[in-house]
Amino acid sequence: MEKFDPAKYREIWRAEWFASLVALSTPEFQQRWLDKRITNPAWTYVEFANCYFDDLQLADGYQKKIQGGFITKDEYECVKDFHHALRAYKEPNGVYDPASILEDPKWQKIVAKGQEAISKLKALITNQNDLKALSGELPALTSGDFTWPKKPTWFRKLLLRLNPPQV
């Protein structure tokens, strides 16, 4: 088994964080929630929100991630309005009705806050890998994205999320 590398874990966490911010802030990306061909639960509003709050361990806020050196206080200042708005959001017809979520003016304001957060982060961050992760490019859908289970790389990420190293 490979020895735990805190710097690598931080890098992976940040990449997942940026991907989550982009996914929750890009209307074109979210339109995929309506694509009936995609039966993989990983491509749902529920999963995107769970990834942000649960997988990234942000349900209780950012304090631990700031203390652990995952993000800076300045980066937090960029995302705090988005985070609080997303945390307070109540879906109009529940989490399993993506059409009503996407049409909801409250959701559209959250998406706008997310886009603003990404713009602020891009102006603040100098690390090229981080900037690339914030690029907002839509990933191409592959056959593994349409059905369950997803590609093996997803399982590796899941194992890391289920057994996060103590930092």
Q: Is residue 141, in this structure, part of any structural domain at all?
A: yes
Q: What is the pLDDT of residue 27?
A: 92
Q: Is residue 106, in this structure, part of any structural domain at all?
A: yes
Q: What is the pLDDT of residue 146?
A: 58
Please say whether the beta carbons of 1 and 8 come within 8 A. Answer: no
Q: Is residue 26, in this structure, part of any structural domain at all?
A: yes
Q: How many domains, in total, are found in the chain?
A: 1
Q: Is residue 1, in this structure, part of any structural domain at all?
A: no
Q: Is residue 35, in this structure, part of any structural domain at all?
A: yes
Q: Is residue 167, in this structure, part of any structural domain at all?
A: no
Range of the domain at 128: 6-162
Q: What is the pLDDT of residue 151?
A: 46
Other beta carbons less than 10 A from residue 98's beta carbon: 22
Nearest residue to 50 (alpha-carbon basis) of 14, 78, 11, 16: 16
> Angle between the 105-124 and 6-23 helix axes, to the nearest 10 degrees?
140
Tell me the mean pLDDT per 10 residues along the chain, length 167: 83 92 91 84 87 94 96 98 98 94 98 97 94 75 56 47 52
Q: Is residue 97, in this structure, part of any structural domain at all?
A: yes
What is the token pair recorded at 157?
């990420």
Q: What is the pTM of this model?
A: 0.81
Show the CA angle centred on residue 157, arms to residues 136 and 101, nearest 5°: 50
Q: Is residue 44, in this structure, part of any structural domain at all?
A: yes
Q: What is the pLDDT of residue 32?
A: 86
Q: What is the pLDDT of residue 38?
A: 80
Report the sign of the C-alpha dihedral through residues 44, 138, 59, 88, in that order.
negative
Q: What is the pLDDT of residue 152?
A: 40
